[in-house]
Amino acid sequence: MSLTEINFDGLVGPSHNYAGLSLGNIASASHKGDPSYPRAAALQGMAKMRRNLSALGVQGFLLPLPRPNRALQNALSFDGTEAAPLRAAPWSASSMWTANAATVSPAPDTADGKCHLTPANLITMLHRAQEWEDTKAQLDIAFGDRDHFTVHDAVPPTFGDEGAANHGRFCDTHGAAGVELFVYGRPGGKFPARQHEQASRLVARQHRLSPDKCVFIEQNPEAIEAGAFHNDVVSVVNERVLFTHQEAFADQEGAYEAIRAKFPALEVVEVPSAKVTMAEAIRTYLFNAQLITLPDGTMNLIVPEECRESPSVWAYCEEMMASAKSGGGPIHKVVPVDVRQSMANGGGPACLRLRVVCDPATVDPRFQLDEAKADRIEAVIAACWPEQIDPADIGSEALAKSVIDARAALLDALDLGVLA
């Protein structure tokens, strides 16, 4: 079996809108009530996927969930007098951020030699807590080969779990056995700590991971209060490399020591606060990036275009690339991409992807991208996705019909009507 890392990006749904539902997400709050552009958002996401397909030779995707969610509307007893946030929640397109879809432990790490996936319960936010069962339905199909995958139910709702946005994996190569990093927050700040420690530990046990191969670390509460609502806003892991802000963890040096104790090959690239402030890191999403290993063994960092527009962030990126060129660092190239529609809701390149290490031959091919399939998807987006959604549109039956019909057209184009 040939193991490789596949990035599964979320296709941006036709109901993509800015309702500002995510407490602690500074970008989401600051764009609340702005018009959104679902068609542009989806095409930006597709362009990113095409770029990675070309670079890596493999790329997956997950589909938008059914919206508006009629079951949630019924559960909330809608009668036309509900508050705007309640009205908007069943329309949320936040499943596009597949970093929150699940936590994934590849087969080399698990006791039974299978890849384990646990969909995140996302209970902290109503608009996200509705996702996991529909997400699991997709995971059950995409990873339906039970000889190679186990797809669990979400952890009990007592414990908040936000998936791979608070999880990383260190390894010598993607197909080798690794050490898994779980980052959690402690409650009590002005913004909720969405990843609970016990949720992380439960996932690790459920995935049959050896305690000797797991590290549990607390996120810096000051980072959460600054707007780093997930750990992937302040750090990202790829193979032996941890690319992180100086203020990412509650005990920064202790975090490094805990990881090195179980993964001695750790290579830390720490960005000093003096060069990139926490506020600027969050504004530009420098760390909410895809750190990928190319076929030639070099690493690229896929960042939002906003990084190139920030003098301090881009100066650091140029310094980092120059260092790698002279043999002084692992990140050889920083590649900006345009995901502005996602960024305005608080999601950068890393939010849009779920990393799964597996043999591509074991994954349902309907969830794997190629150029012809990308053409079909983009044709549906161009023909069916709303060009613009204004806040006043949310809740209208005209928009509901448009969104439902658009998703149905996509399912038909991909032979995935089973998810209708």
Residue 344 is predicted with a pLDDT of 95
Distances (CA, A) of 26 to 1, 136, 221: 43, 28, 15
For the domain that residue 207 is a member of, what is the CATH number? 3.75.10.20
Distance, in Å, from the CA atom of 122 to the CA atom of 163, rounded to the nearest integer, reads 8
Phi-psi region of 20 (alpha: psi -120 to 50; beta: other; left: phi over 0): left
Amino acid 315: pLDDT: 98
Q: What is the pTM of this model?
A: 0.96
Q: DSSP label at 348?
A: -
Question: Residue 1: its pLDDT value, please?
Answer: 66
Between 50-59, 72-81, 294-303, 385-394, the lowest mean confidence (pLDDT) is in 72-81
pLDDT of residue 27: 82
Query: What's 272's DSSP letter?
Result: P
301 class by beta-carbon count within 10 Å (0-12 exposed, 13-18 middle, 19+ buried): buried
How many separate domains does the chain show?
A: 1
The pLDDT, as a whole number, for residue 78 is: 87
Instruction: Give percent above pLDDT 90 in the chain.
Output: 91
Nearest to 342 by CA among 302, 392, 372: 302
The whole-number average pLDDT for the span 122-149 is 97
Q: What is the pLDDT of residues 314-336, one digit of tens each?
A: 999 999 999 999 988 999 999 99
Q: In whole angstroms, what is the distance from residue 204 CA to residue 217 CA?
A: 13
Model confidence at 29, pLDDT cuts 50, 70, 90, reads confident
Rounded mean pLDDT of the chain? 96
Query: What local confidence, expressed as pLDDT, does residue 222 receive?
Result: 95
What is the spatial distance between Cα 154 and Cα 135, in angstroms, rounded to a whole number? Answer: 10
Predicted confidence band of residue 187 (pLDDT cuts 50, 70, 90): confident
- Tell me what pLDDT residue 292 has: 97
Q: What digits encode the pLDDT tens for the residues 50-100?
A: 999 999 999 999 999 999 999 999 999 988 888 888 999 999 999 999 999
Catalytic residues: 162, 230, 351
Q: How far does the chain reach from its first CA to its final CA, in angstroms?
A: 33
Q: What is the pLDDT of residue 132?
A: 98
Share of residues in the chain with pLDDT > 70 (%): 100
81 lies in which domain range?
4-419
**What pLDDT shows up at residue 81?**
84
Q: Provide mean pLDDT across the span 203-225.
A: 97
- Model pLDDT, residue 283: 97
Has residue 24 got a pLDDT over 90?
no
Q: Has residue 404 got a pLDDT over 90?
A: yes
Query: Of 20 and 141, which is predicted with more confidence?
Result: 141
pLDDT digits (tens, 9 = 90+) for 251-262: 999 999 999 999
